[in-house]
């Protein structure tokens, strides 16, 4: 038996359920200014956060500031018989703190992600291809981390 959506919504509301992505939550998130993050991957992370939060591009008019700190480490995970590495994992860790405009920390946390990429066999464009694979994998990991930070912020604002 199919239940109509309105009935299901009433039942869920009765148990205390409410969506994190309602219009009021987006209004709050859009008042967060994301501070610049150094290097290429930090730039990707910041841009994804701005897109997800729909925040202001400048601190003017913002009610909160989000500071992101990115660290990255690389680990070889696949070896050939000659000890050459054919696959790497890049471990990304982003710590964040959300402050009000007076500078008081409102919430903070961290998220981690792993991106993996293969080393291309030697050839004319192997170094370029490997670098492109690494940058693409790291970009996807940064985007995933940005989405999880947005979720963390949604949960924080929903509780407060």
Please list the rounded mean pLDDT of every run of 10 residues in the chain (160 residues). Answer: 55 53 73 94 95 85 94 91 88 97 96 93 82 93 96 93
pLDDT at 120: 87
Question: What is the Cα–Cα distance from 18 to 5, expressed in whole angstroms?
Answer: 14
Task: Please report the domains of the chain, with CATH numbers, ordered by start residue.
Answer: 22-159 (3.30.160.150)
Alpha-carbon torsion angle 49, 55, 56, 57, nearest 10: 20
So what's the pLDDT on residue 51? 94
Looking at residue 9, its pLDDT comes to 55
> What confidence score (pLDDT) does residue 81 get?
83
Q: What is the DSSP string of 45-109?
A: HHHHHHHHHT--SSSTT-SEEEEEEEEEEEEEEEE-TTS-EEEEEEEEEEEEEEEETTS-EEEEE
pLDDT for 6: 59
Task: Please tell me whether the overall predicted TM-score, pTM, comes out greater than 0.85 for this model.
Answer: no
């Amino acid at each position: 038996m199919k239940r109509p959506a309105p009935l299901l919504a009433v039942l869920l509301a009765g148990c205390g359920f409410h969506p994190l992505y309602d219009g009021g939550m987006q209004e709050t998130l859009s008042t967060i200014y994301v501070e610049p993050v150094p290097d290429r991957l930090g730039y990707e992370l910041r841009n994804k956060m701005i897109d997800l939060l729909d925040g202001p591009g400048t601190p003017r008019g913002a009610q909160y500031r989000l500071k992101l700190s990115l660290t990255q480490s690389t680990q070889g995970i696949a070896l050939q018989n000659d000890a050459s590495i054919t696959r790497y994992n890049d471990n990304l860790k982003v710590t964040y703190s959300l402050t009000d405009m007076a500078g008081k920390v409102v919430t903070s946390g961290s998220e981690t992600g792993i991106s993996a990429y293969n080393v291309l066999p030697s050839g004319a464009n192997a170094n370029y291809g490997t670098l492109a694979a690494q940058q693409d994998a790291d970009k996807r990991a940064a985007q995933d981390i940005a989405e999880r930070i947005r979720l963390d912020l949604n949960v924080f604002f929903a509780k407060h």
